[in-house]
Amino acid sequence: MASGILIDGRWEVRPYKADGAGRFERQKTLFRSKVGDDDFPLEEGRYRLYVSYACPWAHRTLIARALLGLESAIPVSVVHPHMLEQSWEFKDDAGRISPEPVFGAEALWQVYARAEPGCNGRVTVPVLLDTVTKRIVNNESREIVRMFGRVFRPYARNADIDLCPPGMQDEIEAVIDALYEPVNNGVYRAGFAQSQAAYEEAARGLFAALQHWDDVLGRRRWLCGDTLTEADIALFTTLLRFDPVYYVHFKCSLKHIWDYPNLWRFLRRLYHHPAIQPTIRLDHIVQHYFVSHPHINPSGLVPIGPVIDYGEPPRD
């Protein structure tokens, strides 16, 4: 796979790793500090979020930012959907270079290298950058979402929304943990598998998990009960990409999401949410996956379908 990595702050094109059985191995996130720590005081407008509309992990942070009403408190830089030899680049939709405002960087790896000289590892989104010290705070989506809901609450326009109520935290974290390996990462484990056994292991686990969560949503409105939480956002961003991309591109073709009545209703409920809808860029999603993975789609052709009718918001 055409990709890249920072080695002592230098950019090198290297493929993703698989283990001896052909299983895809995801790299751990590099930066795990938090706003509110001594090194990173809370200030409105101080922290910049770097995202791709295409990436499900980055999309989580955009959704949380929108639901909480933090748009003016946390500025955003968006990368181009194509991830090629320079990885994520700062280009507009027409492909014209549009450097980001902190370092004047043309690619996200340059932000990493300038913010953290000598950095080693993959360059991923989302990234939360301190624009005063010009250091990376965090690039773990789960922790960024939690920071938005807890630490940045003084700046939230929608302070009545709590995506992780204190009394529900343990349940929410348990659900996010349960979703991660078979569903959120499972689609990638199927798509990037390098052996038939690794692919089938991932795909069968994925569809067993989808059935489980469809059953759960048949008994309750949201994954953790009657309240929209971080767990629902974690599931939604994978489901949104499933039929347009993962079904074909990652060979997750046993069923569509619309074949699961409760998952499909859940997906449409969030798809039509007025705060979430502006964060959805299906054009970026489709372009990213079909163009950025030449080992899966060497022609780089982007399909013209499927045409998905999301209909009206569910009435339940």
Q: Are strands 127-130 and 76-78 parallel, antiparallel or unpaired?
A: unpaired
Q: What share of the chain is helix, strand, coil (3-state, %, to 5)?
A: 40, 10, 50
Whether residue 298 is preceded by a cis peptide bond, meaning omega within 30 degrees of 0, is no
Q: Is 55 a catalytic residue?
A: yes
Look at residue 306 and give its three-state secondary structure: coil
Instruction: Tell me how far apart the alpha carbons of residues 217 and 59 are, in angstroms, rounded to a whole number.
Output: 22
Spell out where 131-190 has E strands: 135-138
Catalytic residue check, 252: no
C-alpha 119/C-alpha 109 separation (Å) is 10
Question: Active-site residue among 55, 119, 164, 252?
Answer: 55
- Residue 63, token pair as written in the block: 């959704």
- Locus of tokens 């056994």: 197
Cα–Cα dist 151/225, whole Å: 24
Query: Tokens 């807890």 label which residue?
Result: 150
Query: What residues are labeled active site?
Result: 55, 188
